[in-house]
Structure 1
């Protein structure tokens, strides 16, 4: 199963069209696809002190356990999101905080992380309003390195090269066609699809 963790509130957004295109591409490869649309779920992004304390004892809230079961069952995962203020929308950060929790996605030994995701492939498709050249002149490397180091490496995911779709708001039809073509080709980045 390929898990897509989707992080955009609007069904009329470019991100939603990207989601539909990506899902279709995966299904055409014969993959079962599960989309966890965080804005449509009863998922609270706030990690409370009580929940934090319980997570240190490997005790998780019901909604977190449900999401962790999807992560466990997935043979590959893709985060699909717009970049807002240099990273995930807040609900996506809350997903990472709560779902990729201590004891589930990693443990610590003498404050050194012990990853638990065992090389499960993790891809990222993200959009920005900035054009590719503007994005690549500054924030791209910083954000992608942070995602790789703080999420993929820390938890033991195999980071698939991220797909950036820039100029998402003002792109003309030809630009959007090129972007959708790159979305349809993105599954080729995952080893599980290259081995077919």
Structure 2
């Protein structure tokens, strides 16, 4: 099962087209797909003190336990999101704070992390209003590096090369279609 974490407020958007295209590409390969549309499911992104404290002894709320089961069952995970202020939308960050929790995604030996995701492939398809060429000069390394170092490496995922789709607001229909072709090809990255 391929797990998709969708972090955009609506599917009536270019990000929604990306989600639809990507899901269909996996289905054409007879792969089961589960989409976690964080806004549609009204996921509470706040990791409060009680939940944080309980998570240190591997005690999680029901909605987090449900997400853990999906992540465990997944053969691979992909994030689809727009870049807002250099990173995920806040709901995505909060989701990851709560779901990639201590005892589930990692443990610690003193202060040394012990990753628990066992090289599960992790991909990311993200959009920006910035053209790809200007994004690549500065922000790309930072945005992708944070996901690689702070999520993939820390938790033990095998990072799949990210797919950046730039200038999505100003792009015309042909440019959008070219981007969606890239999305279709992205599935191949999980088989390299």
TM score, norm. by length of structure 1: 0.96
Match of 2:188 in 1: 188
1:98 matches 2:110: no
Match of 1:15 in 2: 15
**In 1, Cα distance between equivalents of 2:15 and 2:164:** 12
Q: Secondary structure at the match of 1:60?
A: coil
Q: Secondary structure at the match of 2:12?
A: coil
Q: Secondary structure at the match of 1:148?
A: helix
**In 2, Cα distance between equivalents of 1:177 and 1:48:** 42
Match of 1:40 in 2: 40
Q: Supply the RMSD in Å over aligned alpha carbons.
A: 0.7
1:120 matches 2:120: yes
**In 2, Cα distance between equivalents of 1:116 and 1:26:** 25
1:88 matches 2:85: no
**In 1, Cα distance between equivalents of 2:32 and 2:11:** 22
Q: CA deviation at 1:28?
A: 0.4
Displacement over 6 Å in runs of 4+: none
- The number of equivalent residue pairs is 192
**In 2, Cα distance between equivalents of 1:118 and 1:18:** 28
Unaligned runs of 5+ in 2: none
* CA distances 1:143-184 after superposition (whole Å, capped 9, x unpaired): 111110000000000000000000011101221111000000
